[in-house]
Amino acid sequence: MTEEYKKSTRHGIFITPIQQMISSCSGAFLTSLFVTPFDVVRIRLQAQKKPLSKGMCFMYCNGLMDHVCACVNGQVAEAQWYRKGGHFTGVQDAFVKIVKTEGIGSLWSGLPPTLVMAIPATVIYFSCYEQLKVVLKYQDGQRSDWWKPMVAGASARVWAVSLISPMEMIRTKMQSEQLTYKQIREAVRRTINNRGVLSLWRGLAPTLMKDVPFSAFYWFSYENMKTYVLLTRGNADMTFLDSFSAGAFSGTMTAILTQPFDVIKTHRQIELGEIMTHARNKEITSTWVLMKNLYEVHGVKALYTGLLPRIAKVAPACAIMISSYEYFKKFFRNLNESKQAQSEPKRLDS
């Protein structure tokens, strides 16, 4: 660690949990607004590999977390966006056909309920990550701590996804069947009685299979790039452009590494939606059987279906999210530092 960095580091200046929550949520809305169209196209391309019939569910993501929906605005059958537009030959073709057939608004299908789920998920995830870094005694600019972001990122994702999973299941059921709160309570009670409490976490395994490696690789890449910048320049903080660039690069590389997991996750969630809406007693295909069938029918290329639109989504999503997060953390840290400096003369006078 350079002497300049040691001198410029502001020890003892922290941000409060509320300030941390505000920081973690700052980019959620902008990220969702920007990346949802890319993810709609990505899932439409991936879903073509698995036939869908009327009334089935689809899965999409907003850059922060994944969601399963059976319909749009409570409408079923022909109103489902994945049924329109015909076969897509590529990313550009999908964009053109979706806008032409369904209108430009369809690129943001389901955005409001996505935001409702994204906010608590973001708070839980980033708060867990920061607290785990404290537990592991991670320090910015310390090369020997290179492995700690990976452990903290993977652990935080497991914790966040596990907590959100039952909420996502309940929200999906409400949207697919248009149930009242009283009816949903009864449906959840029956589900627990018939299938056990663990049924509320159905679909958790494929989610973890994709999200945990992504989180581990992403934070490993980002934090080590951050350490390099801080040590090289002797700064205490990353600039907005530094965070944006590091987030985009880390997101791109991680998306390429984890793309096969994303494809399998998509097909598992689609299958889950089919079971929830129609074939309730049908058993879910195991992840490995699904992967084997996909490979045998469509080949290795099928495991990388939708890679380009995913990169186009993930890179800016990670860049916007992490740069906003770092910016607001820096803002609150400066604010707290200023308040602390103002209070010190008063204590000296007293």
DSSP letters of 122-183? HHHHHHHHHHHHHHTT--TT-GGGTTHHHHHHHHHHHHHHHHHHHHHHHHHHHHHHT--HHH
- State the pLDDT at residue 151: 96
Joined together, the tokens standing for residue 304 give: 């990388």
Domain ranges of the chain: 20-29+122-334
- pLDDT of residue 10 exceeding 50, the answer is no
Element (H, E) at 67: strand 66-69
- pLDDT of residue 73 exceeding 50, the answer is no
**Mean pLDDT value of segment 193-211:** 76
- pLDDT of residue 55 exceeding 90, the answer is no
- State the pLDDT at residue 49: 59
- pLDDT of residue 258 exceeding 70, the answer is yes
Distance CA 59, CA 40 (A): 9
Distance CA 53, CA 68 (A): 16
- pLDDT of residue 157 exceeding 70, the answer is yes
Q: How confident is the model at residue 259 (pLDDT cuts 50, 70, 90)?
A: confident
98 touches 85 (CB < 8 A)? yes
Residues 6+ apart with CB under 8 A from 33: 108, 111
Distance CA 178, CA 88 (A): 31
Closest CA to 67 of 164, 138, 140, 184: 164
First and final CA of the chain: distance in angstroms? 38
- State the pLDDT at residue 272: 57
- State the pLDDT at residue 234: 78
Q: Could you give the C-alpha distances from 233 to 97, 152, 225, 349, in angstroms and in order? A: 48, 26, 12, 38
Helices (H) and strands (E) in the chain, counts: 11, 2
Joined together, the tokens standing for residue 83 give: 């049924």
Distance CA 218, CA 152 (A): 11
149 touches 135 (CB < 8 A)? no
Q: Among 155-159, 208-212, 260-264, name the one with the lowest average pLDDT.
A: 260-264
- pLDDT of residue 64 exceeding 70, the answer is no
Helix, coil or strand: residue 303: helix
Q: Could you give the C-alpha distances from 53 to 57, 76, 273, 276, in angstroms and in order? A: 9, 11, 11, 14
- pLDDT of residue 128 exceeding 60, the answer is yes
- Indicate the pTM of the whole model: 0.71
81 touches 25 (CB < 8 A)? no
63 DSSP 8-state letter:
S
- State the pLDDT at residue 47: 65
Q: Could you give the C-alpha distances from 190 to 184, 273, 312, in angstroms and in order? A: 10, 18, 42
23 touches 15 (CB < 8 A)? yes
**Mean pLDDT value of segment 128-148:** 88
Closest CA to 223 of 136, 94, 312, 331: 136
- pLDDT of residue 88 exceeding 70, the answer is yes
Q: How confident is the model at residue 179 (pLDDT cuts 50, 70, 90)?
A: low
